[in-house]
Structure 1
């Protein structure tokens, strides 16, 4: 089923008596679901074929680069938005349809087989035959999904309004190299209070929190084929080598090897 620009996922997906309802979307997400928080009883898998999708929940923003997917559990309020033209698959799944499906919001690495199954699923009729070929395809898709590795592409957003404002500032200008004291001053906190509150709310230091955002944004752009040098400068690093050092510290391997391993896994 094709989802038109300007619409939200149809409300009737929860009433469809099938384990899976699949939709495709091609268009500009700036006009789709922006600031329209919603939820559905079926879980949702958003797979990005082209472009970037962001999924925002109360305690974090999940940033989904191409060839990756975000899993949204049933009943979880969320908003989906993007900054450019995208092509994606929206798969709604009855949580009771398979064992070992994720219980929390997460990003999922999509294998080449799962990718083809997701794309093929968007061509299924809404009331597909459960006992026929289509039903068998859905069963294989659910098995592959349950076995897919989970990736941590989440930027946690604290509940405190001042810390939430800080998260918004970081997201709007990730290259800002202000000191911790300067960031604290911008949200009317002391440096010590900022550090303590971040540790209490998200279990991270400011440096690790900001590094998490940089890693997520870097993976987006690396997957799209951008050069390490360009990404490093755009994120505020003095050189490509300092960026690579940060990336290796966060993920245990440099960007090139990380991408190679990701491609092999797919």
Structure 2
């Protein structure tokens, strides 16, 4: 994945080693099978903004999906892994933990305003060691202010750590069209329905049904951002009809899948 700075490809520089409040650059990858970064961490906080395509990011107990016109904020020190499929374009910024701008303390997906996007674009064209004390410092300060007040989006799927639950979750994510009942999943994991309900409530804060619905939402957003049709997503999630899938999506995100994606690519 080429890293772009001032419109030119450059060698990778560890952002943790750059003595500036923000280190920002553009990122672009053509549709060559995607990429995956194994679990790692940075001293600095990280913001990943997606303009085209979608990212999935697992961060210490949660899975986040980042569609176009959204960003994910990962606090400094958080262990995380990133995966993208297909074409991807966006921006990446690393923020020094010494910067006190009331930034989120936990990982979250946020909606990106046109102002935040333009500020990050400008910051990505600065030299790594940009001159401080003037216009650049003011630009960075406004960018951090905008990030601090960005609206959080519900594109998060809590991930359990209990090994029995994690096996169920991994199988559900691998085969989301499997609409097995609570009883069948409990039997498959060798536990009672009551135990399964208690564990998933304790580890995710959700009921089994609510968690499975949220899984469908984040997968749908990921696939739609990758170019899948609504009919294809309906089938892959195991819904009997497009209207039933659209109803679920609308209840979860407040709009239809078609309108949701159209808004992501408008403007």
Which of the five TM-score ranges fits, normalised by the shorter chain? Answer: 0.7 to 0.9
Deviates more, 1:176-185 or 1:21-30: 21-30
Deviates more, 1:129-138 or 1:193-202: 129-138
Tell me, in whole angstroms, the C-alpha distance in 2 between the residues paired with 1:86 and 1:247: 24
Alpha-carbon shift at residue 50 of structure 1 (Å): 1.8
Alpha-carbon shift at residue 157 of structure 1 (Å): 0.8
SS at match of 1:130: coil
**Gapped regions of structure 2 (runs ≥ 5):** 5-10
Q: Corresponding residue for 1:166? A: 168
Tell me, in whole angstroms, the C-alpha distance in 1 between the residues paired with 2:13 and 2:188: 41
Q: Does residue 122 of structure 1 match 2:148?
A: no
1:206-245 equivalence runs, <5 A: 206-223=208-225, 227-245=229-247
Conserved 8 A contact 2:65-2:221: no
Q: Corresponding residue for 1:135? A: 137
Q: Corresponding residue for 2:3? A: 3
1:84-123 equivalence runs, <5 A: 84-123=86-125
Tell me, in whole angstroms, the C-alpha distance in 1 between the residues paired with 2:191 and 2:111: 38
Query: TM-score, length-normalised on structure 2?
Result: 0.85
Q: Corresponding residue for 2:192? A: 190
Distance 1:222 1:123, change over 3 A: same
Alpha-carbon shift at residue 99 of structure 1 (Å): 1.9
Q: Does residue 64 of structure 1 match 2:66?
A: yes
Conserved 8 A contact 1:24-1:90: yes
- Where has structure 1 moved over 3 Å in runs of 4 or more? 8-11, 28-32, 220-230, 251-264
Conserved 8 A contact 1:66-1:224: no
Tell me, in whole angstroms, the C-alpha distance in 1 between the residues paired with 2:56 and 2:197: 27
Tell me, in whole angstroms, the C-alpha distance in 2 between the residues paired with 1:185 and 1:9: 49
When the two chains are superposed, the root-mean-square deviation of aligned CA atoms in Å is 2.7
Tell me, in whole angstroms, the C-alpha distance in 1 between the residues paired with 2:12 and 2:191: 40
SS at match of 1:95: coil
Tell me, in whole angstroms, the C-alpha distance in 1 between the residues paired with 2:3 and 2:263: 33
Alpha-carbon shift at residue 107 of structure 1 (Å): 0.2
Q: Corresponding residue for 1:53? A: 55
Tell me, in whole angstroms, the C-alpha distance in 2 between the residues paired with 1:263 and 1:18: 32
- Equivalent residue in structure 2 for 1:18, among 17, 20, 35: 20
Q: Corresponding residue for 2:178? A: 176
Conserved 8 A contact 1:130-1:136: no
Tell me, in whole angstroms, the C-alpha distance in 2 between the residues paired with 1:86 and 1:121: 19
Q: Corresponding residue for 1:156? A: 158
Alpha-carbon shift at residue 98 of structure 1 (Å): 4.1
Tell me, in whole angstroms, the C-alpha distance in 1 between the residues paired with 2:227 and 2:18: 39
